[in-house]
Amino acid sequence: MKKTVFLDRDGTLIIDKVYLNDPDQIEYLPDVFEALVLLKNAGFQFIIVTNQSGVPRGLVTIENLDETHRRIRKEFERHGVEFVGVYYAAYSVESEHPMRKPKPGMLLQGAKDHGVDLSKSWMIGDRVSDVIAGARAGCKTVLLIGTEAVPKDAPEEARPTIYADGLLVAAKEILNN
C-alpha cells in the first residue's frame, strides 16, 4: 500500500481560469514542480482529483479536458514527477454524484486502482470541498490559503490538518508531520 498525495487541479497545481477549455492557457502556480519533487523524494505518489462542472454546462469539451490533463502530465514528467492517475467529475454542481467532491468517490477509486494506503495519504486543495472529500476518504488534508476559508461553524471534517500558503509550504509541512 502506497502513501499518496491527492491533488485538486485548478487553484492547486494550475491557475484557476474558471472553466479552462483551451489547453494553451494552462499556467502553473509558483513552486508546484519543486513541491512535488520534494514529496516524490519522500516516497509519495500523486493522483489528480478535479471537479469539472464546465463539461455538463457545455463550457469545456471532454477532448480539451483530456488534452489539458495530457499536457499537465507531460510537463510534470519533464520535472521528474508522474501522476499515476487523473480523475475528474464531469457533473453539475447540483448533482449528488458520488465522484463529485465533497464526496470521496474519486479518492476512493484512485485508492482502489493504485494501491493507496489512505491513512498515510493527503488531499491538497484550495476549497473546503477538497478538505471534506479527503477527510471522508480517510486522508489527512491541506487547505491552501486564498480561495476559500473554513466557516467558523463548519463541521470537523471541513477543518484541514494543515493550512498552507502555497503548495511548496504544504509539501514542507507534510514532510514535518
Predicted confidence (pLDDT) per residue in 123-169, tens digit: 999 999 999 999 999 999 999 998 888 988 989 999 999 999 999 99
Q: Number of C-alpha atoms within 13 angstroms, CB side, residue 131?
A: 23
Phi and psi at residue 83, to the nearest 5°: -95, 120
Q: Any catalytic annotation for residue 130?
A: no
Predicted confidence (pLDDT) per residue in 97-126, tens digit: 999 999 999 999 999 999 999 999 999 999
Query: Which of the residues 10, 24, 113, 153 is marked catalytic?
Result: 10
Q: Domain locations in the chain?
A: 17-46+59-89
Predicted confidence (pLDDT) per residue in 7-17, tens digit: 999 999 999 99
Q: Any catalytic annotation for residue 8?
A: yes
pTM of this structure:
0.97
